[in-house]
Chain A
Amino acid sequence: DQQVKQNSPSLSVQEGRISILNCDYTNSMFDYFLWYKKYPAEGPTFLISISSIKDKNEDGRFTVFLNKSAKHLSLHIVPSQPGDSAVYFCAASFGNTGKLIFGQGTTLQVKP
């Protein structure tokens, strides 16, 4: 039972363009969503988060959009840079448990 899904295993984008990574969830009890960036053989690095009471959160080149009715969130990176190439995981949680349910990850490749 995959409660958090990232249906695109990979994405390739040209440097300078926008990268859009998508994530869907099934549990309407989730009230907090996070995006992490991960390199092979390393732990995830926190990027940005959003509470379910908001529909947008922006931090520099990263913006997360939340569509609760569609149970969908997306991470926009603009402009994309080659250093952004990594695996991106979305994660969801509810309450203040701290438990994170991760999606399968999307490998982003930004080409120079």
Chain B
Amino acid sequence: DGGITQSPKYLFRKEGQNVTLSCEQNLNHDAMYWYRQDPGQGLRLIYYSQIVNDFQKGDIAEGYSVSREKKESFPLTVTSAQKNPTAFYLCASSVVLNTEAFFGQGTRLTVV
């Protein structure tokens, strides 16, 4: 089955800890994205990557980091510097930038 897999679905962490969210795609897409979804604010772009070994900051990159060492993987680390990390995180991919994006099921992160 082709698609985007995010894991885990639910994640709990203590305040001050870094946490890494996984995103894997087997669609052979070049571009990948991380969004954060908060009620009433839509989806806000955290980071995106056009191609392997390249990534760019989105609108709300502070407190987050990413890597793109493999085409199929784009993990997101939520660091302790992120002031309000509790949110729903969505990963997506597309053939290239500016084409239709396909989304994973999301990871709901709760920091206590």
Tell me whether A and B are bound partners.
no
